[in-house]
Amino acid sequence: MNTTEPAVAQGPTLPRVLIGLMKGVLYQDGDESLWQDLLALQARVRDYVAVLGLELILDEAEGYAFLRTRPLQEGEPELPRLVQRRALSFPVSLLLALLRKKLAEFDASGGDTRLILSRDEIVELIRVFLPAGSNEARLIDQVDSHLTKIVDLGFVRRLKAPSAGQEQMIEVRRILKAFVDAQWLAEFDGRLAAYASLAGTESSE
């Protein structure tokens, strides 16, 4: 007599999806299986996180999802924040702004869907906002430090060099569009003028 029980098909699991979202941003290209589970369960995910004062931001076209604090309704008591705000330094904010503008220009060109820049190209983006004669080695070290912070935030990722000695390449993640929106970009020139002024002030201190 065969007592072996038939295998039970595993459907999408809510805990797995919720834990993934609580850890940070979910990308379609990071875990296709988890992404499909999220799409199948998104209504239940929204209901669950709403109880915690959060909302699900899901962009199927761009392939990312994350949680953010839900705006309070009138008369609703304020809850402790589960998603903490992070204070960004001036150079990191500047670099994020420049990368967002670069992403907008890239999208307008109608080319590839992935914006990939070399470290040297990123150094050039920020160089114009620094005083003439800035130490080159120090500038590169600073950009590397700022990039590491932005990698930790999930807005860019470092790509593997094709071979030893090849230049480090950086992919700008499209989730950056969700944090720096079109209205912000409309005021970009004025913001950059303020950034340039502040950069000059900080460099003279």
Q: Where are the domains of the chain?
A: 1-85, 90-203
Kindly tell me if the per-residue pLDDT of 62 is higher than 50: yes
The two domains 1-85 and 90-203 share their CATH topology (first three levels equal): yes
**pLDDT tens, position by position, 80-112:** 554 555 667 777 878 888 898 888 888 888 767
CATH topology of domain 1-85: Arc Repressor Mutant, subunit A (1.10.10)
Residue 120 pLDDT: 85
User: What confidence category does residue 39 fall into, taking pLDDT thresholds of 50, 70 and 90?
Assistant: very high
* Residue that the structure tokens 């950009």 belong to: 143
User: How is domain 90-203 classified at the architecture level of CATH?
Assistant: Orthogonal Bundle (1.10)
Residue 182 pLDDT: 63
Instruction: Decide: pTM greater than 0.75.
Output: no
Kindly tell me if the per-residue pLDDT of 35 is higher than 90: yes
